[in-house]
Amino acid sequence: MIDLHIHSTFSDGELIPSELVRRCMAVGCRALAITDHGDHSNIDFIIPRIVKVCEKLSGAYDIKVIPGIELTHVPPEYIPELTQEARLLGAKIVVVHGETIVEPVIEGTNNAALLSSIDILAHPGLITEEEARLAARNSICLEITTRKGHSLTNGHVVRMARHAGACLVLNTDSHAPQDLTGKEMAIKIATGAGMTVEETESMFRNSEILVQRAWER
């Protein structure tokens, strides 16, 4: 299992990074990204500290721990510049909090994110086929999520990605220990969203590719 969207106490998660990584290992994770919520107010505080602890934990354990950020409720016009700032600060995985149907994310967030140099558009809600095609053109992965609420549109995201040829990844968006998910349950969630065995295997390979890309940055 690879999980590229997890939160720690640096935003609204319950666990400090060290415990978070140990618990991820316990459910079978081979790689993860710590992607706390960020905007202009805090990324210069969060990212350098996450970079430091990821280096320490990756060195101590047989697991790849990747520093990242989830740009959250950022006004669409600021997403491109904040993405670049996050990269300069050391974020190797940049996620944008998409237009989930269970939060008041401003319209236009999905489109602005897909025009930026991000890696993953998280829980993109009722994403349009045009936006999914933009994700495909810009090699940005759309997220299938195990998280309650956000997962309500997983089936729609799968259909749009299928029509557009966009890449999918599956993440947990974990905020608490009970949110962490092993591969067996992840496969069930993907199947429940209408994915075939071949599509699910391809989705897991997409996560592998993102990890390799991040590790080389």
CATH code of the domain covering residue 78: 3.20.20.140
What pLDDT score was predicted for residue 10? 96
Would you state the torsion angle of the CA atoms of residues 23, 25, 201, 125, taken in this order, to the nearest 10 degrees?
30
Q: Whose structure tokens read 């810009």?
A: 138
Residue 217, pLDDT > 90, answer no
Residue 216, pLDDT > 90, answer no
Structural domains counted in the chain: 1
What pLDDT score was predicted for residue 69? 98
Over residues 184-213, mean pLDDT: 97
Report pTM: 0.97
What pLDDT score was predicted for residue 36? 98
Over residues 167-191, mean pLDDT: 96
What pLDDT score was predicted for residue 47? 98
Domain span at residue 71 reads: 2-216
Terminal CA-to-CA distance of the chain, rounded, Å? Answer: 22
Over residues 54-77, mean pLDDT: 97
pLDDT bucket at 215, cuts 50 / 70 / 90: confident
Instruction: Please give the C-alpha separations between residue 17 and each of 2, 66, 159, 174, 208, in angstroms, as whole numbers.
Output: 16, 11, 35, 12, 21
The predicted-structure confidence for 30-59, as pLDDT tens digits, reads as follows 999 999 999 999 999 999 999 999 999 999
What mean pLDDT is reported for the chain? 97
CA distance 156 to 146: 14
- Say which residues have a Cβ less than 8 Å from residue 194's Cβ, sequence separation at least 6: 155, 158, 159
Residue 26, pLDDT > 90, answer yes
β-pair type (37-38, 168-171): unpaired
Q: Residue 78 corresponds to which tokens in the numbers above?
A: 């600021």
